[in-house]
Amino acid sequence: MLLGTHSKLVMIGDSVTDCGRARPVGEGLFGAVGTGYASYVDALLAAAYPERGIRVVNMGCSGNTVLDLKARWQTDVIDLKPDWLSIMIGINDVWRQFDLPRQPECHVQLDTYAETLEALVTQTKPLVKGLVLMTPFFIEPNSADAMRARMDEYGVAVKAIARDHLLPCVDTQAAFDAVLNHIPSAAIAWDRVHPNHLGHMVLARAFLQAVGFAWSAQSTLMGHLS
């Protein structure tokens, strides 16, 4: 697995990451890491790789766009000195174009989104051991749906940045699409954005697959010895 012994993993994003995490820093006891996919990642890493002592820190903030991430990047990423960083942002950048269509000042257009995310990655990549990008998603199986189609465009931008920087990329939309072949979207997220426990496990599973997570004791032992 990519995350080594005593790695500090900071996971940053919007409400899907936030999920009630502690302030100012989402790490510690009593649900400090929140109730979403970050907490599942934390639990699964500790259960399968206890010898590595990996720390998971949740720095999601509800309502955030990529511009909000930029504004708090120094305090909520750089100052925390992560070994690994995951970024999942973009849902609100798209959503505001649909739920607040008459307020363009709330919208983050695709070019601004891509340029800002690219700049954050470029700034941070030399400071960490690893960086994982996660695409935004819309839990809607119809790819012709207007918001789903727009979200897919933002996902393509994330994949391009990951490719250019040779970074692991989690295609969260593809992960949800596989589940949506069998389970209706309303059974995962009533508003098609904020997942229930099933949806958060889909996200956690997709992230862990991207970093080489394995349940087997042999792979854990081999990773420890390496």
User: Which residues are known to be catalytic?
Assistant: 15, 191, 194
**Cα dihedral across residues 207, 212, 218, 224: positive or negative:** negative
What separation in angstroms does the CA of 99 have from each of 2, 57, 84, 156, 191?
Answer: 39, 30, 34, 22, 12
Query: Which two structure tokens, joined as six digits, stand for 21?
Result: 């995490």
Radius of gyration of the chain (CA): 17
List, as one string, the DSSP characters of 151-169: HHHHHHHHHHHHHHTT--E
Which residue blocks in the chain are alpha helix, DSSP H? 15-18, 37-48, 66-76, 91-99, 110-124, 146-164, 172-180, 197-210, 217-225
Phi, then psi, of 7 in degrees rounded to 5 = -70, 145
Query: Which two structure tokens, joined as six digits, stand for 59?
Result: 């720095």
Q: Which residue has the tokens 């996902």?
A: 155
